[in-house]
Amino acid sequence: MQRQMDLQFDTPASVVVEPPSSGSATSEAAAASMSSAAGNLRTKVLAYIIERDGATDAEIAEYFGLADNTLRPRRWELVKAGLIYRTTETRTTPSGRQAAVFRAFTEAPEYCEPAEPPEETTDVEPAVE
CATH number of the domain that residue 38 is part of: 1.10.10.10
- For residues 29-46, average pLDDT: 77
pTM of this prediction exceeds 0.75? no
- For residues 99-114, average pLDDT: 70
In a domain, 125, yes or no: no
- Residue 91 pairs in a beta bridge with 99
User: What's the mean per-residue pLDDT of the chain?
Assistant: 74
pLDDT range class, residue 31, cuts 50, 70, 90: low
What confidence score (pLDDT) does residue 103 get? Answer: 94
In a domain, 64, yes or no: yes
In a domain, 80, yes or no: yes
In a domain, 37, yes or no: yes
What confidence score (pLDDT) does residue 108 get? Answer: 46
Judge contact between 83 and 36, C-beta under 8 A: no
Q: Kindly report the length of the chain.
A: 129
Q: According to the 3-state scheme, what is the secondary structure of 69-102?
A: HHHHHHHHHHHHCCCEEEEEEEEECCCCCEEEEE
In a domain, 110, yes or no: no
In a domain, 7, yes or no: no
- Residue 49 pairs in a beta bridge with none
CA gap 19, 33 in Å, rounded = 9
Alpha-carbon torsion 95, 96, 98, 104, what sign?
Answer: positive
In a domain, 65, yes or no: yes
Domain count, the chain: 1
In a domain, 97, yes or no: yes
CA gap 21, 29 in Å, rounded = 9
The least confident of 30-34, 79-83, 104-108 is 30-34
Domain that holds residue 31: 25-104
Summarised one tens digit per residue, pLDDT across range 44-69 is: 999 999 999 999 999 999 999 999 88
CA gap 64, 5 in Å, rounded = 12
